[in-house]
Structure 1
């Protein structure tokens, strides 16, 4: 069976601990990720949930758990997907680069369509995160 994956790498103008906080503190995450009702239990096996609010007002409930947590360096998050037995994993890698941080988001999917949709979503998230950190 073939798999379809993507990896997006960007350099953010903020230290790694600030980028980490943006992903792991519920209030911070909600601000930049257009999410409400954010609950983050950031530890291996801990659950997360949020409601993503799209620009048109559509609300999408999301949930999952944390698989791997290495503070200021690596988060592996599983996302529950209706109709799938196993969660879809998203890998987030942070690498300090002076006062900047290199961030890489990556995922693997069964179909090109799912990959393309997730990659578009990840680019949107990274655009929002970049704007949040610059503010």
Structure 2
């Protein structure tokens, strides 16, 4: 079966969409995405630690994060905010930073938060990956991180 394409002509087989409903108000979920004191507590796949997360959450503002794997391997990622519409939407670029400081393939992440009263529906879209394998790696990472976010938010309610 052939992959479909988006309105912009992007093959959907290299686009990742993750959805989740949180038992937390939208304003809190939004803050968990833009405030370092929250990001340091949940960001990254399960088992990873985040010793460093800096960000300037405004259009054109940058962000940079170090995620350390359970084996002790540092993974640096960074990007630039394209859109910050509190409390409903964030859009930012994502790229791995290589040991020599060069930047890997860049994708665009859009996080949309729908208000469901005491709950929030999150839709995360990341596009466009250089391969299906890269998309699948990110699917595993984001699914784990989003679960960590749900657990973290539960400690704040």
Secondary structure of the structure 1 residue equivalent to 2:138: helix
Q: Say what the alpha-carbon RMSD is for the aligned residues.
A: 1.5
Is the strand fraction higher in 1 or 2? Answer: 1
| 1:59 positional shift | 1.6
- Aligned residue for 2:99? none
Q: Which of 72, 77, 80 lines up with 2:92 in the alignment?
A: 77
- Which consecutive residues of structure 1, in runs of 5 or more, have no partner in the other structure? none
- Which consecutive residues of structure 2, in runs of 5 or more, have no partner in the other structure? 1-9, 44-48, 97-102
Bigger drift between 52-61 and 100-109 goes to: 52-61
Question: CA distance change for structure 1 residues 98 and 128 in 2, over 3 Å: closer, same or farther?
Answer: same
Secondary structure of the structure 2 residue equivalent to 1:80: strand
Instruction: Give the 4+ runs in structure 1 shifted more than 4 A.
Output: none
| 1:118 positional shift | 1.0
Establish whether residue 117 from structure 1 lines up as the match of residue 117 from structure 2.
no
8 Å Cα contact 2:42-2:148 kept in structure 1: yes
Superposed CA offset, 1:3-28 (max 9, x none): 51121111001001110111100111
Question: CA distance change for structure 1 residues 83 and 14 in 2, over 3 Å: closer, same or farther?
Answer: closer
8 Å Cα contact 1:2-1:110 kept in structure 2: no
Secondary structure of the structure 2 residue equivalent to 1:127: helix
Of structures 1 and 2, the larger Rg is shown by: 2
- Aligned residue for 1:132? 152
2: CA distance, partners of 1:71 / 1:83? 29
| 1:2 positional shift | 4.0
TM-score (norm 1): 0.91
TM-score (norm 2): 0.79
Bigger drift between 112-121 and 27-36 goes to: 27-36
Bigger drift between 27-36 and 122-131 goes to: 27-36
Count how many residue pairs are aligned between Structure 1 and Structure 2. Answer: 133
Question: CA distance change for structure 1 residues 29 and 83 in 2, over 3 Å: closer, same or farther?
Answer: closer
